[in-house]
Amino acid sequence: MFNRGPVSVQNASPASAGLPRFMTTAPGQASAGLGADAREAAQLAILFIEDSLADFTLMRAVLVDAGLNVTAQCVDTEATMRQALAERTWDAIISDHSLPTFSGLRALKVAKEVGFRGPFLIVSGAIGEETAVEAMRAGADDYVMKNNMRRLPPALERGLREVQTRDQRQRAETALASAHDQLNAVFSATPVALFAISRERTVTMWSPACEDLTGLGSADTLSRSFALPSQPDTWKLLTLIAPALDGTEVRGLPFSIETKGENRELLVSASPLSGSPPSGCVVALSDVTHLAHAQAELSRSESQLRELSRHTERLRENERAELAREIHDDLGALVTRIRADLALARRRSREKETAQLLDEAEQMVASLGEAISRIARAMRPPVLDFGIVAAIEWQARDFAQHTGITVNVHTNQDDLALELEQSIAVFRIFQEALTNVFKHAQATRVDVDLFADDSTLSLEVRDNGIGLSSDALRKRTSFGLRGMMERVHGLGGWMDIGGSPQTGTPPFRGTTLMISIPLNPPTLSLPGGKSPHHEPEDQE
């Protein structure tokens, strides 16, 4: 026994002289547990609990001879052991079984008290089977007899591997437990109803939101076959999530359920779990009942606004028609009488200058009459009384005459009798389209297609201008386009407008406006038949 305090040593050239033959085995032959490179790279800090300096030197030499890179310290009392454990971290402890004032079992207990996690090996000259079993039950990783030191390196390496495996398993279990806790927290905190189901249709997870939605608690569902309060709802939901149980994600499928005396609108999503085929799937039930109610309310509001818009447009058109008639009839008659009186006064005038002034006044009144007729036609073109086809053709000619832009009209109908509201809406849309061409398109040509069948009327207006920017429809000031859309939607139809902006020299690709409205039902002319109508220029 030695009592001169702890002894620390590092690897040195092993003094093999005088050692038994089995202790002089070349590095790499003594142990197959670690490769030579791994042994040389990894330095092991080993705490020896031994009262014999010779035995300590022998054990360290055996480990070094086996190719292990060892830093060692030897202690022989509980106090020095505790001090050594407090001063640094050790990879392993090798303890003699019996010391004068200490023992291997006591050293094992001390190691556990301070939280030592490495392998603990007991080396003894004479240890009974019962004592060895007791040491292993107490937590020792292995024991080695001093007369068989060849077992020490592989026993140490095996202990190190077992500790590493144990640590990895513990880390994995900790990570798994943490992930499980996080998953439980997500299941508990999310307002979306979540549950997990196996391929055998057994419920494996059930969130509190599912309980709130269905009225079924976890005790009613976990480890049981999936079932909702209503059997038809059960089969319908299982049908929706069936693809996820085969490995295909399900996203946002509508599903309604009767629960707690209320119909709930849901969106179903499901993601398959790992495995091929999947071991199951996780299902999310998003309650969109309030969104469905809000959407329905929004649809009702939009419908009411459109009806209000249609009513406003009808009132406006009626007022325009009434005002146009009053302008045409009253002001027109007044202008005609003034012209007649001026003509009579001019003929009776004997003074040349007076006659000239009266002639000029008559001409100005004539211009006023033309302006009145033009304003009246713009407010309510009389040509609308002769059908939408005649109105479109007249507006095209009038636009071409005043702007110099060529307009070609193509139609499969010689005459088409629409309801008054439909005729006015289509005509105003066409007017707005031509106005936009004149203001923005920089076009030289416009092609118009007006087609109708037994159920639908379509109008297409194409120009060869500079096109339409993608932001045009989103501008707050795009009242013309929005007005056209509202007119079309008010008639139950649809509108599409497009055309990429072009740069450079003509020809450009231009812009195309297309509308389609249902007829209710239209009265079409017989093939080849024409309804007589007056030219709009003749209307006053």
Task: Tell me which of 496 and 291 has the higher pLDDT.
Answer: 496
Q: What is the pLDDT of residue 198?
A: 93
For residue 226, pLDDT beyond 90: yes
E strand or H helix at 459, and its extent? strand 456-463
pLDDT band for position 470 (cuts 50, 70, 90) = low
43-49 and 92-96 strand pairing: parallel
pLDDT band for position 506 (cuts 50, 70, 90) = low
What mean pLDDT, rounded, does the chain reach? 79
pLDDT band for position 488 (cuts 50, 70, 90) = confident
Q: What is the pLDDT of residue 458?
A: 92
Identify the CATH homologous superfamily for domain 381-518.
Histidine kinase-like ATPase, C-terminal domain (3.30.565.10)
Mean pLDDT of 467-474: 65
CA-to-CA dists, residue 377 to 329, 374, 398, angstroms: 12, 5, 11
pLDDT band for position 380 (cuts 50, 70, 90) = low
Mean pLDDT of 395-399: 90
**CA 93 to chain CA centroid, nearest Å:** 56
Architecture of domain 44-169: 3-Layer(aba) Sandwich (3.40)
Three-state secondary structure readout of 215-236: CCCHHHHECCECCCCCHHHHHH
| Residue showing tokens 């149980």 | 245
For residue 523, pLDDT beyond 50: no
Q: What is the pLDDT of residue 378?
A: 63
| Amino acid letter for position 32 | A
Q: What is the pLDDT of residue 489?
A: 83
Give start-end residues of each CATH 3.40.50.2300 domain in the chain. Answer: 44-169
pLDDT in tens, 324-375: 666 666 676 777 777 777 777 777 777 777 777 777 777 787 777 777 766 7
Give start-end residues of each CATH 3.30.565.10 domain in the chain. Answer: 381-518
Mean pLDDT of 4-8: 55
Q: What is the pLDDT of residue 442?
A: 86
Q: What is the pLDDT of residue 87?
A: 92
For residue 525, pLDDT beyond 70: no
Q: What is the pLDDT of residue 139?
A: 85
CATH topology assigned to domain 190-380 = Beta-Lactamase (3.30.450)
For residue 422, pLDDT beyond 80: yes
Task: Tell me which of 41 and 45 has the higher pLDDT.
Answer: 45
DSSP codes, 395-454: HHHHHHHHH--EEEEEES-S-EE--HHHHHHHHHHHHHHHHHIIIII--SEEEEEEEE-S
pLDDT in tens, 123-168: 887 766 777 778 888 888 888 888 888 889 998 999 899 888 888 9
Give start-end residues of each CATH 3.30.450.20 domain in the chain. Answer: 190-380
H-helix segments, 437-497: 479-490
How many whole angstroms separate alpha carbon 249 and alpha carbon 242? Answer: 10
Q: What is the pLDDT of residue 25?
A: 35
Mean pLDDT of 415-440: 85
Q: What is the pLDDT of residue 245?
A: 92
Q: What is the pLDDT of residue 522?
A: 40
pLDDT band for position 383 (cuts 50, 70, 90) = low
Mean pLDDT of 255-281: 87
Q: What is the pLDDT of residue 16?
A: 37
